[in-house]
Structure formats: structure tokens, C-alpha cells
Amino acid sequence: MLTNIFFSHHCISPPNENVISDRWRPWWERYQPISYKLCTRSGNETEFRDMVTRCNNVGVYIYVDAVINHMCGTNAGAGNHGACGSYFNAKTENFPAVPYSVWDFNDGKCKSRSGDIEDYHDIPQVRDCRLSGLLDLALEKDYVRSKVAEYMNHLIDIGVAGFRIDAAKHMWPQDVKAILDKLKDLNTQWFSAGTRPFIYQEVIDLGGEPITGSDYFGNGRVTEFKYGAKLGTVIRKWSGEKMAYLKNWGEGWGFVPSDRALVFVDNHDNQRGHGAGGASILTFWDARLYKMAVGFMLAHPYGFTRVMSSFRWPRYFVDGQDVNDWVGPPSNSDGSTKSVTINADTTCGNDWVCEHRWRQIRNMVVFRNVVDGQAFSNWWDNGSNQVAFGRGNKGFIVFNNDDWAMDVNLQTGLPAGTYCDVISGDKEDNRCTGSQVYVSGDGMANFQISNHAEDPFMAIHVNAKL
């Protein structure tokens, strides 16, 4: 269910050949390339082409996670243990399937003692040395830029709509720009002539370092990691934070400008304690609070929003650290990935979480599409953790994150009528499977939300009017 009624874009894991580190196949192997052949545990090029075509044909566009900063780690060895069986030698920096040789890496430019990044306050080191031992490509060389662009253009020819640029912080902005300038316009079979690929860059900028997200604005949007970290702190009510303080959410909280921001509650890294954000990050493991956070994100106009879709893994904490944070997707005994099964209620089985299929999140995606372009309006709060706001005359959302019940009359800005609360249920034909909200002629409505509710928030929009 990735139809364009709900989701217009889908970001996929890196589709190019990666190292197979061991029979247990950790999730991070996808971020250790050995070639640009389209071949991973997710499938081969024929299967990739089929997916892109089928998705494009129903208006769901594919963004590819492009790992172009580096190849595999220095300790990956040598041989044919890649997803397609291509030969490589990490020690001699030989990747004949591209081909790259030792001359195509940044060893000579890196000034750290170990060859790895040791000091994040040293800009050349962050961009010229190895990130966690990953072989750092010399992207100032036109040959390397051309091989990267060749890979990305091949994906554009197949029909992808854009790219997440992995580890952009570890590349010089002008090198990223030089590669992007080599990219073709999107495939006119699905996109208007002259349409450029959508670009967003992974730049972890929590403040306190010389490299900032703004360094990359000229190339496209950037990931705003402060968003999930701060929102998690507020929803968890840590450090004295309250939802009432969210009235000026966005740039007022020190975030990048809305038209440069790619925002999310969690991602594949920080839901495992990697990357950025720390313990405040909310994930599917914290389902009740997580749904509230994602609901707030999708209702609020700030940024270009991304919803996570995950798989479960067997968490096991030792001294506060999840020692199973490496575990890859649900797999069969032979190492093959398990199929995504669909339950009767349209959620997923087989340990696939599929947050995007949860009713509350799916319906808030619809909410965001309905209120697109409408102004942030009719803010209300109780000075604590009960808040509400609207989006013009199209939608209204209410939260009770306090430890007591809520019973308030609020100005919604919506036309008079009976609405289906899309958090507790669905509008089916002209009836509602959840709670109903009555909006009077003056736009006022009563909202009653128990602090013990499974989902202590409500949302209504004009397409959910009965």
C-alpha cells in the first residue's frame, strides 16, 4: 500500500553491490559498496527495474540511498564475497568491477595518524579521512566523479526520482555539486521534461562542530537531525520540556530553514543508537509516544517529512548498549530475507514493522496531503502538554500528553459538520469506525481525550467529514 493516496515517495536501501561480511548479514553491509552493479540481498537489476516501473506507474517515486563517499572497510579482506560475486581487494584498494584502484582514494590527503577521522573539529580530516575505516574516495578527481555520476545516471535512466546522499558531511560540498551537475534530468516516461532529481544530503549537525548543514544548501535539502532529537525530548517530557513550547517549532528552535529541511522522528541509524540524537529518539519500540511524535510531524508545516518503515530485531542490552544493534532484516535459516506478509488489518507480519501501514500514521499522511499549502493556525495550549493547532480551514489536530484528562472547546477553523477522528478510526463510506467530532457553525468543537487512551491525540480534516 504505497499508492499515491498516501505516499508519493519511497527511499530504498543502497541498491548497489556490497560486501558480504559474514553469514549473519548485518544491516550495515549495505553501506559498504564494492561495485555499482545493481545486486543486493533485495534483488538484482531486473527486479529493481520492475519495482521502479511498477511504483512509478502508480505515482510512487523512488529515492535511492546513494553511498558515494566511500567503498567498503579496510578490514573487508579480498575475494569474491560481494552480493554479485565481484572480486575486490580492500587491502590493496582494488575494485575492478568499477574499476577503482589505489589512486582513486584519499589516503594521500588524509593527515590523521590512523587514516581515520579522529577530530570532528578538523574539517579536512572529516572530509578526507576514513569514516570508521571505510575507504574514502577521492571525489576531487574527475574520473571518480564520473564513475559515481555514471552509476547515478544509470538509476535515473531506470526511473528513480532522486537520491539521499549518504555521509554528505564527509564530502566537500563542491565535490558533491560537481557530481550532481553531471546528472541527467529525470526519465520523461514518468516525469516532465527538464525535471531535476530531488536531492537530500545526510549531514549530521547537532551544533558544536565547524561543519554545518548550511554548507550544503546549494546542493539540495539536508537532514535536520536536531528535529527528532528535540521532538523526542519534548514528547518524553525530559529536561523540563513541554508540548506548549512547540508553538514556534521549526526555525524558532534553531533548525535549518523549512525549505532546506528533510525531517524525521527516527531513521535506520539512530533508532539503533547509531548516528545522531541519543536516547531521546523515539522509535516503534515506544509505540504510543512514537505515534504522537509522527502525528505532530505530519501535521506541522515545517520541512519535507519522511516516515520510517522498519523491521524488528532481538534487542539485548548490556550495560545500556544494545549488543544486537547490528542485526539485519528478518531472515530465513539460509540467510535469505523473509517475505513481508500482510495481516488482516493491513499491518505487516514476519517481524516487519511497517510503521507506514499503522492506521494512525497512514491516516496522518493523508492529513498532510489534504492540508498541503495551508497556514499553521489556531494554536492552543494549556501551558503544559495539551496542545492543538490547525492548518487553515482544512485540518485540525489535538494532543493530550498530560497525566490528566482533557475536555476543552477549541476553535478548529473548519467548516461546520461531523468529522471522523482519523487517529481512532477510518472514514468508510459515510460512517466512522472511530470517534466523531462535531464542529459547530462558528468553527468550535469539543475534544475529550483521556490520558489513558491508547492514542491520546485526535485529528480531523475536510476529507474525513461525514
Q: Which residues are catalytic?
A: 166, 202
- Asked whether the beta carbons of 329 and 342 are under 8 A apart, the reply is no
Rounded Cα–Cα distance for residues 419 and 435 (Å): 9
Rounded Cα–Cα distance for residues 103 and 2 (Å): 43
Q: What is the 3-state secondary structure (H, E, C) of the chain?
A: CCCCCCCCEEEECCCEEEECCCCCCCHHHHHCEEEEEEEECCEEHHHHHHHHHHHHHCCCEEEEEECCCEEEEHHHCEECCECCCCCEECCCCEECCCCECHHHECCCCCCCCCCECCCCCCHHHHHHCEECCEEEECCCCHHHHHHHHHHHHHHHHHCCCEEEECCHHHCCHHHHHHHHHCCCCCCCCCCCCCCCCEEEECCCCCCCCCCCHHHHHHHCEEECHHHHHHHHHHHCCCCCCCHHHHHHCCHHHCCCCHHHEEECCCCCCHHHCCCCCHHHCCCHHHHHHHHHHHHHHHHCCCCEECCCCCECCCCCEECCEECCCCCCCCECCCCCECCCCECCCCCECCCECCHHHCHHHHHHHHHHHHHCCCCEEEEEECCCCEEEEEECCCEEEEEECCCCCEEEEEECCCCCEEEECCCCCCEECCEECCCEEEECCCCEEEEEECCCCCCCEEEEEHHHEC
Rounded Cα–Cα distance for residues 379 and 403 (Å): 21
Beta bridge partners of 395: 391, 461
Beta bridge partners of 116: 130
Rounded Cα–Cα distance for residues 163 and 256 (Å): 20
Residues in Cβ contact with 79 at an 8 Å cutoff, skipping those fewer than 6 apart: 87, 88
- Asked whether the beta carbons of 9 and 197 are under 8 A apart, the reply is no
**Strand pairing of 221-223 and 261-263?**
parallel
